[in-house]
Structures are given as C-alpha cells and as structure tokens.
Amino acid sequence: MPVHPRTTADVLVVGGGIIGLVTAWRAAQRGLRTVLADPDPGGGAAQVAAGMLAAVTELHYGEETLLGLNLASARRYPDFVAELEEASGQDTGYRACGTLAVALDADDRAHLRELHALQRRCGLDSVWLTGRDCRRLEPMLAPGVRGGLRVDGDHQIDPRRLASALLVACERAGVAFHRAWATRLTVDGNRATGALLGPPGTPPGESPAGASPEPAGVSHEVDADQVVLAAGSLSGRLAGVPDEILPPVRPVKGQVLRLAVPAPRAPFLSRTVRAVVRGSQVYLVPRANGELVVGATSEELGWDTTVTAGGVYELLRDAHELVPGITELPLTETRAGLRPGSPDNAPLLGPTELPGLLLATGHYRNGVLLTPVTGDALADALVSGELPEEARPFTPHRFSPARQEASV
Ligand code: GLY
C-alpha cells in the first residue's frame, strides 16, 4: 500500500470556484476545520463570468421556484458584500446600478412584453419604457431601440474580485488549501470519508479516451467527516462517487469579451444593458473601472473552451446593433468558460444519498448571484444535516433514480 501524507478535517471542499470558496468560508466561520482542494482556487468560471445579479431580467418560464432562491440571494448581497469586504480588506466591485433590457425589433419587443407580464405575475419590480425613454437613460443606445424594461434591482459584481476576496477571507478564517485536484472520493462502507488528491495537472476525468477516470498519481489524502463536491462543471467526473449519486451536470460554454472605456470619458453606459438579438442573449456590463464586459454565447460543446472567430463575431455584431459606439473601444480580452448546467437549470445543494457527501453545484447561469445563499445553505447543512427551508427544493434527491422511477 502506498503511503501518502494525510490531513484530517471536519470538512473537505472539492473545488475552489466561488461556490467552493463561499462554502469553505462559511464552514470555517461555523467552527469547522475546513480543507479546500483545487489547483487554482479562484480560477475557473469566475474568471470569465460577467457577474450580473439578474434575478429579474433572467427570469424564464417554468423557473419560478428558482426565482425564489435567486431573489433570496439577491436580497442578501449588500450585507454579504459588506461582511466579505470587511473580512478580506478587498473591494468586490459590487455596483447597485440596475439593468435595462431593450428590444431592437418587433419580435424582440413582443418577447420583452411577455417577459414583463411574467415578471408582474411574479410580483417583481420592472418598468416598461419607450425607446425614447431608454435612450434618455442610456444615450449610447442605438436609435432603433423599440422599447425596454428598466429593472432597478438587478445589479452586478466583479466575479474576479469576488473570488479574490473570498480566497483571502477563507485564508483569514483558517481554511487550509491544497493546490491539487481531488482525483477520487474515498468511501468506507456506506460513507464518504474524504478524497485522494493528485499531483498538479490532470483534472478529474481527463484520462485517455475510453479509459476510466483513475487518478494518475496520489500526492495527498484528506480524511474528512463531510465532503462537499463543488467543482462546477467537473462535478460529475470525480472518480469514486457511486454512479447514482454523481451529479448530472454538464458544461455549457460561454464566450465573453472584455473592452476598455478610455479613462477621461463620461460613463459609456451607466447600468447593465441587455437584449435578445435573433434569439441570442447579449449583455454589456460596465464596471466602475472602465471595463466593459460583453457576453455571452451559450454552446453545448462538451469541454471545449476555444474562443472562436464566430463567437467573437456574433457577440460584437449583436452588441454593435445595441450600442454602435462599442466598435471604437479597445478589445482587451476574449475568453470562454464553462457553466455547470443541470437538467432543470437549478443548483444541486446539500446532502446526497451517500452519507458524508454533499453537493454545491449545477448553478448554471446563476453561480455569482447564488453565491451568498449557497454559502449559508451549505453551512447549515454541514452543521445540522438539514437544508434551510428556502434551499430544500434544490436537494440532489430530486434527481435520484428511485425518486424518478416513482414519478413515472
Ligand atoms: N448569467 C449570464 C450567463 O450565464 O451568460
């Protein structure tokens, strides 16, 4: 038997994106000895995401239950940011700037009217504006804008700064970091007991085609009373997790651009501006520091994170239709990330049917928005074994094979 260095902990968090980091921070604050495994904590989707906190403008039919969780998290944001900035000494780039969703043609306008009706049925604050009113609010908008929705409660945060602040807050709260992939969950009898960590490099499941995702080597072992799998789109690939427990998450690629608004200029846009153009979402998120984030494609292409000419072209074409002046701005960055999509577009939170294993994954389009409520829900589940009321609809049990057979 090989002998690895071992660490013991109350909680092992697998994955150091913003969801893993907030879970680790909240667990440590509750007095749990917490270890987090990730080769690059704070990396991943947080480095790509635009950071819209868009509970109202990203409302979709059939997602009213998710709306409740999204709103609960949005309400928590101001206090969460104040606490995190205090704990980390870092600015998170949170801006309570609101959002304007606009229509460019008659079809978009009909679509936006439908969204407005749904928002009103759900009791949400959203105001219909004429095209002229939209341009009065945002003079850089195209003259052809046909109308829009002003949503003063949908804000933004800079996910890169959020990740950085969470990392520092975790360190200050005593979270121990292992900069390595977890390559296998360890299970003893019917209980998760920790994980094997590999050498830096190969992510879980990145084995040659057809081979089972076995660890290439083990450099460390963590024994933990509870393990939280929070590895974003990779969460379904951790070896050792029984098949019926593996979370049904898949990667959904998003390409995102960053532009720069030169410093001495008046604000280019004062709030997030978004539209659906020919069926594709496009949004422009203006940061206080002059960065303008333009997103995002939505592509079901597996693990591909290539930035393509077509993706960049479509984003720039659609953003240019909305705000023609963007073509003058320097293009500073193009990048693609992977959203962790789940079968019902909602996250999987809390205990699984394998004692000792919890999930915090599948946040899909809402990872940044759901960060505060996820941290609180997972901390409750780790301490008490129970999810708080608001998070119960998102239990992983809803996808368990037994439950699904019973409902057929
Ligand atoms: N929530 C924005 C996106 O997923 O593109």
| Burial per residue of 162-182, b for 16 or more beta-carbon CB atoms within 10 angstroms, e otherwise | bbbbbbbbbeebebbbbebbb
- pLDDT band for 92, please (50, 70, 90 cuts): very high
The Cα 193–Cα 196 span in angstroms is 10
Q: What is the pLDDT of residue 211?
A: 36
Q: Which of 276, 365, 369 is the pocket-test mutation for ligand 1 (most atoms within 8 Å of CB)?
A: 365
Q: What is the pLDDT of residue 4?
A: 77
Q: By the 8 A CB rule, do 196 and 184 touch?
A: yes
Distances (CA, A) of 312 to 284, 307, 319: 14, 7, 10
- Count Cβ atoms within 10 A of the Cβ of residue 62 and give its class: 0-12 exposed, 13-18 middle, 19 or more buried: exposed
Ligand 1 mean position, distance from CA 282 (Å):
9
- pLDDT band for 207, please (50, 70, 90 cuts): very low
What DSSP string runs through 200-219?
A: SSPPTT-PSTTS----S---
R_g (Cα) of the chain, nearest Å: 21
- pLDDT band for 135, please (50, 70, 90 cuts): very high
Residues facing residue 337 across a β-bridge? 254
- pLDDT band for 29, please (50, 70, 90 cuts): very high
Ligand 1 mean position, distance from CA 42 (Å):
18
Q: What is the pLDDT of residue 276?
A: 84
Ligand 1 mean position, distance from CA 366 (Å):
7
Ligand 1 mean position, distance from CA 135 (Å):
24
Q: What is the pLDDT of residues 323-377, one digit of tens each?
A: 999 999 999 999 999 999 999 999 999 999 999 999 999 999 999 999 999 999 9
| Whether the predicted pLDDT of 261 surpasses 50 | yes
Q: What is the pLDDT of residue 404?
A: 66
| Whether the predicted pLDDT of 1 surpasses 70 | no
Q: What is the pLDDT of residue 203?
A: 60
Q: Which of 67, 154, 276, 283 is the pocket-test mutation for ligand 1 (most atoms within 8 Å of CB)?
A: 283
Q: At what angle do helices 18-29 and 159-173 cross, to 10 degrees?
A: 30
**Which domains are delineated in the chain?**
6-47+162-249+343-407 (3.50.50.60), 96-155+251-341 (3.30.9.10)
Q: What is the pLDDT of residue 280?
A: 83
Q: What is the pLDDT of residue 120?
A: 96
Report how far apart the first and last C-alpha atoms of the chain are (Å, whole number). Answer: 46
| Atom 4 (ligand 1) nearest CA | 365
Q: By the 8 A CB rule, do 247 and 359 touch?
A: yes
Q: Which of 59, 73, 281 is the pocket-test mutation for ligand 1 (most atoms within 8 Å of CB)?
A: 281
Q: What is the pLDDT of residue 338?
A: 97
| Whether the predicted pLDDT of 209 surpasses 50 | no
Ligand 1 mean position, distance from CA 365 (Å):
4
Ligand 1 mean position, distance from CA 89 (Å):
28
Q: What is the pLDDT of residue 171?
A: 98
> Which residues form ligand 1's pocket by a CB distance below 6 Å?
52, 58, 254, 295-296, 339, 365
